[in-house]
């Protein structure tokens, strides 16, 4: 059976553990790709203001024929819009562009640490949350020191922290810190944008199980309890990535994959990205 488990966030909202990521899906291809994902059974879509395809994601969700309450939709506040009024306006624009009454999850995309404006952005997200136009709010690319700032300044604990995680970047420290504070980890680039697909150790496990290397890596995330939304613009890969719930990795497989961690990022380190000297 291919039923996607749900994770309960710290405010009681439930999120499908597997979704469809839309980064680098061209805007003109996004509507069809999202409709294909929904047809396959995905009920969780991850987009962002930065991706330039919110409109098309919204169109697909509205035209899919699936009840709005049955699809979990996430977007993210763009960098440079952390000032309170900018963040409020940007959220309104997202809802308008998507043609939706509410979002399920809205995140601060990057902390942009140097100017520390993420605290102001968090105040805006908190007010949007209180207004009922988003079911849950969270952050992305936050390190424990960024989260500590939020804890000092706000009573609302982020529901999720969306960070880069894959077998080459296990992020044990940030995940454990989040877990201690009730923050779920969403793992972006779960197959390291394809880098782990030729890994000989993962390939060996895949061969034993009669699965693909992508499926083994994605299943590793699932068994660690993280939320994932691999991106593919190809139907057969979308199907493959959705088929993760009819097999299991052994404890030895998980331990083996843990040894592959080498702190290797596909994206920038959050402390350096957007750094203003
Ligand atoms: N918060 C953030 O800062 C942040 C940053 C990056 C990403 N994200 C989110 O996380 C999502 C996933 O991350 P990502 O898109 O960077 O990387 P990813 O999902 O790890 O990898 C996507 C790449 O792998 C290929 N692929 C997917 N499934 C495959 C399969 N079964 N076999 C072989 N190749 C496969 C795709 O190619 P094809 O499309 O050609 O199939 C694409 O090139 C994004 O779409 C976005 O929603 C968030």
**6-8/14-16 β-pairing:** antiparallel
Q: How do residues 173-226 score in pLDDT, each as one tens digit? A: 999 999 999 999 999 999 999 999 999 999 999 999 999 999 999 999 999 999
What are the beta bridge partners of residue 137?
106
- Which is nearest to 17 in space by CA: 36, 33, 30, 3? 3
- Which is nearest to 163 in space by CA: 148, 145, 178? 178
Pocket of ligand 1 (CB under 6 A): 21-24, 46, 109, 140-141, 162, 188-194, 197, 212, 214, 229-234, 237, 240-241, 267
* Strand runs labelled E in 199-260: 227-228
- Ligand 1: atom nearest CA of 110 is 3
From 188, 217, 233, give the residue whose CB has the most ligand 1 atoms within 8 Å, as the site to mutate. Answer: 188
Q: Output the CA 154–ligand 1 centroid distance in Å.
A: 33
Given a contact cutoff of 8 angstroms between Cβ atoms, the answer to whether 228 and 186 are in contact is yes
Please report, to the nearest 10 degrees, the dihedral formed by the alpha carbons of residues 276, 116, 11, 224 taken in order: 40
3-state helix, strand, coil in the chain (%, to 5): 45, 15, 40
Residue 218's contacts (CB-CB under 8 Å, 6 or more residues apart) are 18, 190, 191, 228, 230, 241, 244
Q: Output the CA 157–ligand 1 centroid distance in Å.
A: 28
C-alpha–C-alpha distance, residues 50 and 273, integer Å: 15
Query: Angle, to 10 degrees, between the axis of helix 213-224 and the axis of helix 251-258?
Result: 100
Work out the pLDDT band at 276, boundaries 50, 70, 90: very low
Tell me the pTM.
0.97
Q: Output the CA 8–ligand 1 centroid distance in Å.
A: 24
**134-140/6-8 β-pairing:** unpaired
Residues marked active site are found at: 51
What pLDDT is recorded for position 277?
40
Q: How do residues 72-122 score in pLDDT, each as one tens digit? A: 999 999 999 999 999 999 999 999 999 999 999 999 999 998 767 899 999
What pLDDT is recorded for position 1?
52
Q: Output the CA 194–ligand 1 centroid distance in Å.
A: 8
Residue 62 scores a pLDDT above 70: yes
- Ligand 1: atom nearest CA of 241 is 31
Residue 263 scores a pLDDT above 60: yes
């Amino acid at each position: 059976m291919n039923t996607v488990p749900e994770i309960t966030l710290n405010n009681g909202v439930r999120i499908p553990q597997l979704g469809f990521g839309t980064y680098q899906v061209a805007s003109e291809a996004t509507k069809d790709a999202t409709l294909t994902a929904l047809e396959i059974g995905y009920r969780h879509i991850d987009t962002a203001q930065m991706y330039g395809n919110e409109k098309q994601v919204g169109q697909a969700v509205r035209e899919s024929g699936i009840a709005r309450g049955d699809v979990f939709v996430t977007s993210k506040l763009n960098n440079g819009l952390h000032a309170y009024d900018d963040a409020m306006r940007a959220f309104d624009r997202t809802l308008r562009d998507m043609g939706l009454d509410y979002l399920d999850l809205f995140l601060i995309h990057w902390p942009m640490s140097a100017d520390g404006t993420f605290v102001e952005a968090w105040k805006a997200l908190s007010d949007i949350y209180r207004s009922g136009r988003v079911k849950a709010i969270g952050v992305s690319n936050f390190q424990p020191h960024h989260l500590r700032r939020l804890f000092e300044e706000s009573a609302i604990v982020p529901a999720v922290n969306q960070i880069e995680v894959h077998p080459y970047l296990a992020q044990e420290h940030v995940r454990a810190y989040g877990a201690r504070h009730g923050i779920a980890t969403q793992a972006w680039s779960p197959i390291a944008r394809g880098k782990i697909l030729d890994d000989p150790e993962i390939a060996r496990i895949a061969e034993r199980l009669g699965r693909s290397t992508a499926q083994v890596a994605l299943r590793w995330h699932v068994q660690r309890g993280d939320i994932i939304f691999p991106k593919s613009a190809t139907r057969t890969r979308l199907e493959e990535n959705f088929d993760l719930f009819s097999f299991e990795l052994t404890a030895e497989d998980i331990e083996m994959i843990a040894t592959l961690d080498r702190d290797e990022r596909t994206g920038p380190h959050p402390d350096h990205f957007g750094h203003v000297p």
